[in-house]
Structures are given as structure tokens and as C-alpha cells.
Amino acid sequence: MKFPRFLRPVATRVLVTFLAAAWFAGCASTNQVKSIVAESNAALLAAQFADVELAGEPSVAGNKPDWQTASRKIDEFIAAHPDQKVAASALRVRQAMLLIAHAQFALARSAFAEATNLKTDRDKALKNLSEPIIWWWEHSQLVSFNAAQLSKGREHLDAFDQELPKLKDSPDIRDLLAEMRARIGLKRVASIQSADGVKKKDAFVDVLNRYGATFTTDDVAAIKSGNLTPQSPAISAVERRRLRALAVIAKAKQGAQALRAADQTVALDDLSADPAVRGLGELVLGP
Amino acid sequence: MISAEAAGMAIAIAKGVIKLAGRIDRLTAEKDAVTGQLIIPMPPDSDAPDVDAALAMLREYLERTRNDDPDPLAGERGRLKALLAKTPVPDVWIEFFEKLFPEQAHPPAISPDAEYLKALKKWVPTVNWDDNENTQVRQAAFYIAAGRDQRGLGYGARLGLLVADVIAEFGAENTSLFIRDKNAQTIVQSVLQRFSKPDLEDFEDWSPFLRHALSATLNGLLDARTVFDGHAQWADALFEALARARDSAENRDDYLLGLMQGRGYSLLIGEGLQLAGETLASEHAGVFRDIVATFLIDAAPLVKKNKNDFGTFFHEHWGDLVRGGISAVAKHGPQLLEGKSPLLRETLLAVMNQLAATPSTAYFSSDTVLHLAEAALGAVARDPALLDGAVGEKWLKALIASIASTIHDTGLRAVFGRDGLERIFKDALATFAQHPELIIAQPGLARDVVASVLEAVAASEGMEAWPLANAAVSGALQGLSKYPELAGTKFGPYVAELAGLLAQQVKDHGLAAMQAADLIDAAVEAMLRNPRLFAALEKNVATAVLQAVLKAADQGQGTAGQVKLLADATLVEVARDVLAVVARYGIGFVENNSVKLLADRVAETLSAGLERANKEMGRRMDQTALPAVLAALVRKLLRGELADLDPESENFKKLFSEIAEAVAA
């Protein structure tokens, strides 16, 4: 092959400049998606904490996140890129969570319905559990579940039980959904009358068995030791699991107390033999 | 000044970079959307009291306000009281509770995420979690990762494929810049063009990508087949045939890949073309091409439609069928190729259709298919009427079904093993191919002769059965090919019976498998010397005589320390000579007496002879003379010249001495 003779300084500079321009011009979609991810996350967190502000580019930093704007940007991106089916599906799941967090449940269902080409454990699990998640957002603040809601809640717990075993390799989403299952389960426990046989106790044992199975004995030991200081402010999945468990354990203690008051005390032997479950049981049932 | 060539290359590079940047943008946008962190808030939870506590509060309220005037429950007291008396309390209690205890029913909601933030503040006090300067740190604490991506190809690999794809496209469009050789340019360009379509980064798993790569290479080579023109006419013809078949297929790229993936292709290339080049005249290359193309085109819908796994069979054996065709043309002349509708094409298609309709063809080896095709083509070359309409269909069905049912027979497979059975069938089908007349008259011969022999041998359940079975099958078929008139006699069943007898001897009496095979050879040879005696009578004379020889061998066991005279190769020779004598002189004896008496007398004669031989060995005779001496005694018996069978009688001693001395002379 003949080495090209055009590699002379001027020509080379022109070519390099042109190529660099072409390259940067070709990053538009990526930048759009990055912006969508950042704004939607901020809007999701803002649903819980009113003081959240946008970070990043100086033009937007300090502004209050707006879920409607974030949702609209997702719609616009998908409309402008009809060939990007995989990206669109992932963005629809993101949009659905955004809509749920802002109580737009019907729109959230539509967004989930359009997420048809999902690839990751997180997105697939969220879509598969979209009905239980939406239902819990709709019912979590009720005084108590009535009979129909208790029954529906049980169905949803079963749906979690189908999904969680698939998520062993994705601890972030597995832990979050396991916590949600535990909270639905504890709400059911608080809504079952002790006069209704052993249903209340059985429901409570089920919560501890399922939730405890997501922990390791190291997790339990760390919680028991009372030292949960993370290695750095960048919280790992394990550290988050332990820190978030504190509130669930506190909530579960209330359930245990209610059962004791009704002479249906739950003992460690009522739980599964899994050491992590027994460890969680000690934390919940102990003093 | 920049040369035209350099300017062209610069433009090509610029186009490539723009394309590359666009596609990388698309891929990284997808990556960010799919793997981007996501905050998933947990809904706020109610801190309302447990239902038991709430019911206790209602009961306490009812009691506490029992005497209040005016009654705060007004007309509802009785209803609430009745409600609380039930077990369990109906759901309506919730309405009462919300009305009577609004603060307890709707306390400030507890946010699990706020609780988590509280824990963060406690355990990570070094960060001011409320400060908006730390917005990103706070968000990161809530991020939920995308987790496992269930696709086999990660974004790193797909980015690599994307770059490779753009380079391939660039290479395809600018091949001349890199490769000077015109032929090589054509091939590389053709392969790269196919390789770069569709966009490689769209593949999500390795398997379809590798399939695409292989398919692109094969199809690219085929597209560039003009480069090979003139190197070998038969190779050109095959390439052309493949190209035509591909162009007619519903899914063009997959069709070729399917053919290439099977073993048939390598076999065809390895042996078939060499044979074609050596034996077929070059003017027939075009006809061959048309035939193979038609054959492959017609196979496509059949392969797709067939539910009996014919697809796999075809992909593995299409080369064998074509090779069988070439071989048959070499043997039977170009008449198979001639005419408006060449016999080669018609027969190959008919065989293929029949194979597709026959279950159990998956057990066919390459040799089976090759010889089957050869045999069928040979038969049709002799008698083209065999292909006509229903007759042809029936004929092929009988031929293929008889082979398939025997090869598939699980009992036979258990005894002979897959390899043994295939070896037997390879030889049997090779005989059919050499003597197609065998299956013209009797297409079910595989079932009638081969299977019956194998079943007889299998019944003994002995080991090392296949050499004996192979010898019996081979002997029977050779016999039938030499004397076609035997097809209507009991020749086949009698050979099977002999094989069964010998298999039992192998199992029970320690007869070596190879000697059993030699014995069956000897027996078949004798049977062919006198079919009237050995194949037409109601009783199996050959089996009776062989039994007599084996009985004499058993009875003639030497005493301890003595050498056994009738064993090993001598046994085979004695059996051969005695059977030959019976073939020549036995008919009168059998007609005047019976087969049973023949067997008894032969056994007695041989026993007496062996007893004398033991005594005369080293005096008047040696071991090599034994077969001739014993055969001569049997000849005397059959001619009525031997009545005294007492080995110690003077008559017998004298006769034996005369024979021994005559043989020695």
C-alpha cells in the first residue's frame, strides 16, 4: 500500500478540525439523555424532600426540579428518536416512576405499558411489579386495610415473591423492592384483627422470613453492633441496605408489640432456620 | 497539491468519522438511558394505630361517653355497639374511627426516605446532607443501579462491534485503496459489504452475531464466485448451483448458512468434487449445476415444512446425496444426466421426498445415505420405469423403509452397536449399488434378508456379533446377485438360520467370531453350488450338515493332553469340504432318506473318521490331510460305499487307510 501523500500540515489541520466538529456535533442524543436522567432523578427526590434543587450546568443549577418538564422531555426524546426502542423503553420506566411519585397513577400505567423492550433487572422488575407498586402508593396512607384490600395486598406480596428471586445479581433493586414488600406486609399485619385466628401472627412471621432472607449474617451483626458508619459518603448497596433496615425494624417492633398485647407472641422458633432471618428476628422481637 | 487519490481518501475518512460519531452517539444515548441511575422513592406510610388498638379505643370511647348528654354519637351508638360486639369486627369500624379519632387516624405520614436520610445524618455526620451544595452526594445515596443486563453483549463489546462495522463499511467502499489484487478486492469487498449490514451494534448476543459473521462470509464468497471461474469447472458448477438455490430460497442468507453448517458440504467438497473432476465429462457441468440447483431449491420448502427433523438430516446429508449422484453417474454413464428431465434429478428428488416422509432416518450415516443414493440411481438407470408415478413411489418407499426400520430397530442396535450396524449396512448398500438389479425386483431386500440375518444373530445375545452378521449378509447378497433366481427360494431364510446357529456356537461353545464368519462363507459357497439341494427343500440341509460337523468336533475332543483335531482353521476347512461333497453327491441321499438321517450319518462318519485319524496321525497322514480325508469318507457315505461306521471295524480301518494314503500321495 502506498502511504498517502496528503498528510501535509495544512491539509491535516483542516481535516482534524472538521473531524472534531463532526464528532462533537454527533453527541446530541447522549447529552439529551444525560440531561433527562439528571432532571428526572432530581424531580423524583423532590417528591420526598421539598428543598431539592437541580445540580450540574450553571444554566440550571439551583433551579427547583419540575417533574412535568422532566416527563415532557422524555416524551420529546422518544418522539424524536423512533428507532431507539431500547432507550425509549428504559426512559418510559423512568417516566413511570416519576409519575407515580407525583401521584399520576393512570399516566404511570400508560408509561409502563409502552416500556416493551427492557433489558436490565431493575427496569424489568419495576415493570413486572408496576401494579403492586402503584397500588402501594395509592394505599400506603390508609388508616387500615379493609378485607378486600387485605386480600389484594396478599396477591401483591405473592407477586413480589415471584420477582425477588430473579434479582440476586442486582442487589440495589432487590433490596428496595424487598423493603417495599416488608412495608406492605407490616401494614397488613397492623390491619388484621387478632380476634381473626392466627392470621395476624402468620402474616407477621411471613414478613420477617421474607425480609430477613435479603440480609446476610454480616448485615445483622453490623446492625446489632450499632456501628453503621459507611466507608465514605458514597453509600454502597450493602451500607444502604443496613441503614434503611433500621426504620423497617422499628416499624416491625410495633407489630411484634401488638401481637404480644393480643397474646399471640411471636418467638424465634416461629421463624425460618435461616441464620440471617433469626438474626433479624432477634432485632425485632428482642427488647 | 493533494492528489486525487488522497483527496478521495480524505473524503472517505471524513464520511466515516461522521457516520461513526452518529452511531456512537446513538449507542451511548441508549447506554445512558438503560444504565443510568434511578431514584425510586418509597411512599409515605401511615402511623395510624394497629387495628386491635384502634378497636380498643372505640370500645373505650363507647364506654366513656355512655352517659354523656347530649350523646356525641347521637343515633349511631347502637350501631357502633353492635359492630364492636362482632368477631371479627366488620370494616365499617374504620369510618367510625376516622370520625371519632381524626388525629389518630391521619397522623403525619412517615416517609421511609426521610427516615433513611435521618440515618445518613447520624452515621455520616461529616456531610451536611441539607446543604444544596451537596445535592449530588444526597442524590447518589438514593441511586438504584440498573443491575444486571440480560443481554450477552455488553455496551463495551457493542461499541467494539460498532467501530468494526464502520471500518468494514469503509473498507467495503474503499477496498481498492488497501488491496491491489483485483480478485482479492472483489472477495474482500463482497464479504465486507455483507458483514456491515445490518448495524453490528444492534446485536445483543454473541450467538446471532457469530451466525451473521459466518453467513456474511459465506454469502460474500458466493457473491464473488466469478473470481474462481475457470479454476475447476465442477467447482464453478457447484457454486452456481448453490447461488441459484440461495436466490430461490425464502430466507436467502439463512438458507446458505444452513447448508454450510451441516456436514454434507465438507463431504461434498472433500470427496464429491474430486470424484466429479476425475470421472465426469466437462460438458456435463452445466447439467450437473441445473440438477443440483433444482434439488436444493426443491428441498427448501420440504425442510421447512417437515416436522420429523428432516431439516437436520438434510443439512447433514445433502452432500452425501449429491455425491451419491455423482458416483452413480460415473458408474452408470451420462444417461442419468440426459433427456428433458434427467433421471439423476428425478431420482434425487424422489429419494429426498421419500427420506423426508420416512421416520427414523436420523440414524442414517453418511455411508448409508451415499450408497442408498447410488443404489437407487443405479436401479433407475437400469429400469427408468421404477420412477413412474405410484409404482415409483411404492418402490422407493419399500427400499428406504426397509433400511430405516432395520437400522432403527432398537433390539438390533443394542446387539450390534451403532458402528457395527452401520458397517453392515454400508457393505449391504454397497452391494445394492453394485448390483441394483437386486432391489429392482425386491426393494424390501434389506428387510427380507439383512434384517432376518441380523435378527437371527441377535437372538443369541452373544458378543462380537457383527463380523458373523456381516459375513452372512454379505454372503447372502452376493449369492443373490450371482443367482437372482434364488430370490424366490428359501436361500435368504436359510442363510439367516445358519447365522443364528453359528451365533449360538459363538456364545455357548467358544467358537471364535472370525471362524464363525468363515464358516458362514463356506456354507453360502456350498449353497450356491447346489441351490436345488440347499435352497429349495423344506429342510435346511446346510444347517443340518454344519450341525453334524460341529457335533463331531464336539464329540471328537481329544483326551487330556491330546490335541483337538477338529478346531480352528481345520474346522472351517472340514466344513467347507464336507459341504462341497454334500453339494455334489448329497441329493440322492436326501431324496431317498431324510435330512435328519443325512445329518446323523455325516456326524457318525466324521466321528469315526476322527477317531481313526487320532490313531493314524503321524503314521499315514498329517493334520493338513484331515479335511480331504473326512470329506472323502462322507463322499463314500453318500455314494453308498460306506455302511460300516465302527471305527474299530476292519472294513473301516481298511477304507480309512486307503483314503489317507491316496490323499497323501
pLDDT, position B568: 79
- Using 50, 70 and 90 to split pLDDT, how confident is the model at B209? low
Task: Tell me the three cell numbers of residue B369.
Answer: 445415505
pLDDT at A254 over 50: yes
Cell numbers at B130, concatenated: 441539607
Q: Can you tell me the mean pLDDT for B499-503?
A: 84
| A146–B178 C-beta distance less than 8 A | no
Judge whether residue B208 has pLDDT over 50.
yes
Chain B CB contacts of A18 below 8 Å: 14
Whether pTM exceeds 0.80: no
More confident of the two residues B642 and A41: A41
Q: Does the beta-carbon distance from B39 to A11 stay under 8 Å?
A: no
pLDDT at A3 > cutoff 50: no
Q: Distance between CA atoms of B15 and A284, rounded to whole angstroms?
A: 66
Distance CA B199, CA B538 (A): 77
- Whether B234 shows a pLDDT value over 60: the answer reads no
Averaged pLDDT for residues B187-205: 68
Asked whether the predicted pLDDT for residue B250 surpasses 80, the reply is no
Q: Which residues of B touch A48 (CB under 8 A)?
A: 41, 111, 113-114
Query: Can you give the pLDDT at residue B421?
Result: 75
Residue range B14-51, pLDDT digits in tens: 676 677 777 778 888 998 999 999 999 999 998 899 99
- Cβ separation of A29 and B29 shorter than 8 Å? yes
Look at residue B115 and give its three-state secondary structure.
helix
A2 band by pLDDT with thresholds 50, 70 and 90 = very low
Q: Do B14 and A18 touch (CB under 8 A)?
A: yes
**Closest-CA distance of chain B to residue A276, Å:** 21
- Higher model confidence: residue A285 or residue A47? A285
A76 in contact with chain B, both atoms CB, cutoff 8 A? no
Nearest by CB to A180, from B42, B138, B148: name it. Answer: B42
For the segment B216-230, the average pLDDT, to the nearest whole number, is: 60
Look at A173 and B37 and tell me if their CB atoms are within 8 Å: no
Task: Give the whole-angstrom CA distance, residue B600 versus residue B594.
Answer: 10
A95 to chain B: closest CA residue: B38
Give the pLDDT band of residue B420 (cuts 50, 70, 90): confident
Backbone angles phi, psi at B635, to 5 degrees: -60, -45
Contact A143 B94 (CB under 8 A): yes
Angstrom distance (rounded) from CA B18 to CA A27: 11
- Assess A34–B contact: CB distance below 8 Å, yes or no: yes
Which residue shows C-alpha cell 442487589?
Answer: A171
Contact B88 A51 (CB under 8 A): no
Q: How far is A260 from chain B (nearest CA, A)?
A: 11
| Partner-chain residue, chosen from A84, A121, A137, that has the shortest CB–CB distance to B148 | A121
Distance CA B248, CA A135 (A): 55
pLDDT band at B495 (very low <50, low <70, confident <90, very high): confident
Q: How far apart are alpha carbons B631 and B552 in whole angstroms?
A: 13
Q: Write down the pLDDT at residue A225.
A: 92
Is B147 within 8 Å of A121 when comparing Cβ atoms? Answer: yes
What is residue B233's predicted lDDT score, i.e. its pLDDT? 57
Q: Choose the closest CB to A119 out of B28, B29, B34.
A: B34
Tell me the sheet residues that pair with B45: B110
CB B192 within 8 A of CB B175: yes
Q: Does B529 score more than 70 pLDDT?
A: yes
| pLDDT tens, position by position, A166-199 | 999 999 999 999 999 999 999 999 999 998 878 9
CA B647 distance to own-chain centroid: 61
| Amino acid at residue number B636 | K
Tell me the average pLDDT of chain A: 89
Quote the CA–CA distance of B657 and B619 in Å, as a whole number: 10
pLDDT tens sequence across B566-604: 777 888 899 999 999 888 888 888 888 888 888 899 999
- Nearest Cβ partner for A4 among B6, B33, B39: B6
Residue in chain B closest to A172 (alpha carbons) equals B144
pLDDT in tens, B614-645: 888 888 788 888 899 999 999 998 888 888 88
Residue A2 φ/ψ region, left for φ over 0, alpha for ψ in the -120 to 50 degree band, beta for the rest: beta
- Nearest CA to B402 among B357, B451, B367? B451
Winning range, highest mean pLDDT, from A145-149, B159-163, B409-413: A145-149
Of B203, B225, B224, which Cα lies nearest the Cα of B212? B203
The C-alpha of A64 sits at a distance from chain B's nearest C-alpha, in angstroms, of 11
Nearest to A228 among B28, B123, B143 (CB): B123
Q: What confidence score (pLDDT) does residue B9 get?
A: 66
A143 lies within 8 A of chain B by CB: yes
Residues 6+ away with beta carbon under 8 Å from B201: B23, B27, B158, B159, B161, B162, B165
Q: Give bridge partners of residue B586 from the DSSP assignment.
A: none
Spatial distance between the Cα atoms of A263 and B553, rounded to a whole number of angstroms:
96
Which position has the higher pLDDT, A124 or B296?
A124
Residue A101: Cβ within 10 Å count:
23
Closest in B21, B89, B149 to A193, CB measured: B89
Average predicted confidence (pLDDT) for chain B: 78
The label of the residue with cell 467494539 reads B160
Is the model's pLDDT at B263 over the cut of 60? Answer: no
Helix (H) / strand (E) element for B545: namely helix B541-555
- pLDDT at residue A87 tops 80: yes
Distance CA A43, CA B437 (A): 87
The label of the residue with cell 446346510 reads B542
Chain A environment of B117 (Cβ under 8 Å): 49
* Tens-digit pLDDT profile for residues B101-110: 999 888 888 8
- B-chain CB neighbours of A183 within 8 Å are 42, 45, 112
| Residues A175, A214 contacting (CB under 8 angstroms) | yes
Backbone angles phi, psi at B483, to 5 degrees: -125, 80
pLDDT band at residue A60 under the 50/70/90 scheme = low
DSSP A120: B
Q: Is A6 within 8 Å of B42 when comparing Cβ atoms? A: no
Q: In the predicted model, is pLDDT for residue B83 greater than 80?
A: yes
Min Cα–Cα distance to chain A from B27, Å? 8
Nearest to B39 among A45, A86, A233 (CB): A45
pLDDT of residue B555: 75
Residue B247 burial (C-beta neighbours within 10 Å; 0-12, 13-18, 19+): exposed
Q: Helix B595-616 vs helix B626-638: angle between axes, to the nearest 10 degrees?
A: 140
Question: Collapsing DSSP states into helix, strand and coil, what is residue B558?
Answer: coil
**Highest-confidence segment of A28-32, B57-61, B207-211, B607-611:** B57-61
CA end-to-end distance (rounded Å), chain A: 83
Q: Do B88 and A193 touch (CB under 8 A)?
A: yes
Chain B residues inside the 8 Å CB shell of A87? 29-30, 33-34
Q: Do B42 and A183 touch (CB under 8 A)?
A: yes
Contact A1 B87 (CB under 8 A): no
| Lowest mean pLDDT segment, chosen from B57-71, B204-218, B500-514 | B204-218
Gap from B80 CA to chain A (nearest CA, Å): 17
Residue A137: all three cell numbers together: 402508593
Question: Quick one: pLDDT at residue B293?
Answer: 77
* Better pLDDT: B68 or A211: A211
> Would an 8 Å CB–CB cutoff place A265 in contact with chain B?
no
Task: Give yes or no for A41 touching B (CB within 8 A).
Answer: yes
Residue B561: which residues within 8 A CB-CB, separation 6 or more? none
Comparing B488 with B552, which gets the higher pLDDT? B552
- The share of chain B scoring above pLDDT 90, in percent, equals 14
CB contact under 8 A, B145 and A28: no
- Model confidence over A67-86: pLDDT tens digits? 999 999 999 999 999 989 99
Specify the residue for cell string 453527541.
A27
CA distance A171 to A176: 8
Instruction: Give which of B398, B396, B417, B393 is closest to B407, Cα–Cα.
Output: B417
CB-based contact (8 Å) between A216 and chain B?
no
Which residue of B9, B42, B59, B124 to mutate against A (max A Cβ within 10 Å)?
B42
Whole-number percent of chain B with pLDDT over 70: 76
Nearest CA of chain A to the CA of B45: how many Å? 5
Q: Are B159 and B201 in contact (CB under 8 A)?
A: yes
Peptide bond into B342 cis (omega under 30): no
In terms of Cα–Cα distance, which of B325, B215, B326, B196 is closest to B261? B215
Q: How many CA atoms lie within 13 A of B370 on its CB side?
A: 18
| A248 sits in which H/E element | helix A237-261
pLDDT of residue B560: 47
**Residue B581 cell numbers, joined:** 461333497
pLDDT digits (tens, 9 = 90+) for B278-322: 555 566 667 777 777 777 777 777 776 665 677 777 777 777 888
Tell if the CB–CB gap between A37 and B117 is shorter than 8 Å. no
A108 to chain B, minimum CA–CA distance in Å? 14
Q: How far apart are CA A56 and CA A72, in angstroms?
A: 20
User: Given a cut of 50, is residue A1 above it in pLDDT?
Assistant: no
Task: Taking residues A83-91, report their average pLDDT.
Answer: 94
Rounded CA-CA distance A226/A221 in Å is 9
HSE-CB of B184 using CA atoms within 13 angstroms: 8
Which chain B positions have a beta carbon within 8 Å of A81's beta carbon? Answer: 29
C-alpha to C-alpha distance for B490 and B64, rounded to whole angstroms: 113
Tell me the chain A residues in contact with residue B107 when contact means C-beta distances shorter than 8 Å.
Answer: none
Residue B647 CA to residue B562 CA, distance in Å, equals 18
How many CB atoms lie under 10 A from the CB of residue B172?
19
What pLDDT sits at residue B462? 62
- The answer to whether residue A279 scores a pLDDT higher than 80 is yes
Task: Check A45 against B38: CB less than 8 A apart.
Answer: no
Which has more confidence, A44 or A18? A44
Find the CB nearest B145 among A5, A122, A124: A122
Please report the pLDDT score of residue A76 as a whole number: 95
For chain B, how big is the Rg over CA atoms in Å?
Answer: 45
| Cβ contact, residue pair A194, B28, below 8 Å | no
Record: contact B50-A254, CB cut-off 8 A: yes
Kindly state whether A226 is in contact with chain B, defined as any CB-CB distance less than 8 angstroms.
no
Size of interface A-B (CB pairs under 8 A): 269
Residue B596 φ/ψ region, left for φ over 0, alpha for ψ in the -120 to 50 degree band, beta for the rest: alpha
